[in-house]
Amino acid sequence: MAFEAQAGRASLRLPAVRRRRAEAYARAAGRLVRAVTVATGSPIRLGAVTARIPPAAPGGHPSAAQGERRLFTAHTATAHRQQPDGIGLMWIAHTQVASRVAELGIPDLGLFLAGYVEGWIPDGWITLDHPTA
């Protein structure tokens, strides 16, 4: 998780990267994985489940203006108990992620993460609900 202080309080955002024109989503995710691996010093590997988040209808959640998004799962074998020094990243429990990044407007995020971590979402692609207004 990326960690930023805003107006005296901590706010979180998921690590993200913009896909380059004509770049495959998986290649863009690979660039992000390499950057996080270098920043944390912990090897990260992509998981076998990927969420597709379609854009909302016009007038929907502001984050939907980005168009379609992908949420790639990833793993690290290293236990992260504290924020790595000076790199602006921190690790939090998967159960806290959805509430800490609610501004993304992804209603199924908590359920998706629980299903992934608990192993009841099958490998492959899953489409999450449209962002809410």
Residue closest to 131 by CA, chosen among 86, 76, 69: 69
In the structure, what pLDDT confidence band is assigned to residue 7 with cuts at 50, 70 and 90? very low
pLDDT higher at 29 or 83:
29
Mean of the per-residue pLDDT values of the chain: 77
Q: And the tokens for 54?
A: 């379609």
pLDDT higher at 22 or 133:
22
In the structure, what pLDDT confidence band is assigned to residue 123 with cuts at 50, 70 and 90? very high
DSSP string, the chain: -EEEEETTEEEEE----PPPTT--HHHHHHHHHHHHHHHHSS-EEEEEEEEEEPPPPTTS-GGGGG-SEEEEEEEESS---SPPTTSSB----HHHHHHHTGGG--TTHHHHHHHHHHT-SPSEEEEPPPPP-
Give the pTM. 0.71
* Region of poorest pLDDT, from 31-35, 105-109, 112-116, 121-125: 105-109
